[in-house]
Structure 1
Amino acid sequence: MGTLTWRGPASMLFARAGFAVGAQAGVAVVFALRGSPTPWHDAEPWLPVYGMLIDAGCLALLWRFTRREGIGLVDLVGVDRTRLVRDLLLGVALIPVSLVFILAGTYAAGWIVYGAPAPPYLLGDLPLPASLYGVLVWPFIWGLTEQLTYNGYLLPRLQVLTRSTTVAVSFVAFAWSFQHVVMPLTFDAKFMAFRLLASPLFSVFETILYLRLRRVIPSAVAHALMDGATVAIPLLAP
């Protein structure tokens, strides 16, 4: 077994945010080459598509760091085959509870930033093939990778390195919340502040839930289905 150091967790803490900005920049370049006068803005709705680059980057780093520890990516999942069906059903059951935290954080952030309740952020304005990909494929890779990054990998290692569950939860919840500021990156200060403030309540809930279960499948299932809805709702009701 390898020795646990700060190198891996420190690299992963804001890896998803970094990959998000890089991936969006790549899409913006494509729009610029096609003559768009607002390439960065035009790239924003394509998060469900360029999200594959974010996930690929994170999975590559996780593979590298877990290999150094003498384990594999699958070890981060914490699969218990005897509980697999129950974990899948638990993931569906977690959706209403998760929505309470998501909506509470969203509307509270709306009051703080805009002085009025703000609805959840939905992803839309994509061609039909991209929207279908965003509903049927993207959420499941995204949900699992996000849970592996923050809960499966970061949280238990920060617990050990900081010797404090409270500090570990705080680090992970902040990094998890911060990624929403740049997904997509809009350069709208109020919207970015809104996205940051809307996320901590749910992020803390997710970390505490993982500490209780020590398995990522239930949260990954709930995460995937809710993310898919953020693409499906605008698709069904443009």
Structure 2
Amino acid sequence: MTIEHSFSRRGFLGVLAAGTLAGCTTTMPGGRSAPMPARITRPIGPPSDAELQVMYGPVVDGGYQIPAIPYQQIDPKFYRQRVADRTGEAPGTVVVDTPSRFLYVVEPGGTAMRYGVGIGREGFAWQGDGVIHWRQPWPRWKPPNEMVARQPSLAKYSIANGGMEPGLKNPLGARALYIFQNGQDTLYRLHGNPEWQSIGKAVSSGCVRLMNQDVIDLYQRVPAKAKIVVWQ
């Protein structure tokens, strides 16, 4: 069952057992509020080629030069686009449709902004509902000790060593949004990533990844303490 085809299911499975670890733990910054947009008047539909050139063109952000994305090599269904909202959720809610590899931000007026995402591979996925408690531009990446144990080459980026500096090669990309449940950090994130080829695939260590240009756009649309629901 996917969000595109049905939203009759209203129950969500709980978070995976405590202690499940993701490979995208980072620093814990303070959250900042973001205003909800007014009712959208732009027509629903896929972006034009001219819009895509702007959306996925090169971007200077935070002192970093983010390269253009060859969007022609990506399945068009994963382009950022406004769609009719079928989630039934309140405006400001983030919904991740894991099977379809889509993330939605519900807007006022019956629409939602949809993004293509990459998800966690089998055994690392998270599901349920929570709150986006923290948000961070250009975060540091600190893989958990358990991940370092599995991949010793990551020891130089461990928590003890201060993690990986922000930048274009950082796996968390240009933005990270931190998912909490019942007041506790789940260790799962929505974040950018330089590997645009991973969008639409299940390859990460549990987090939901977006193209850097898309996560920058997402960051501006998600209000503080936004509700998030993740379907499996």
Higher CA-based Rg:
1
Q: What is the TM-score when the length of structure 2 is the normalising length?
A: 0.27
Q: Quick check: which one's helix share is greater?
A: 1
More strand by share: 2
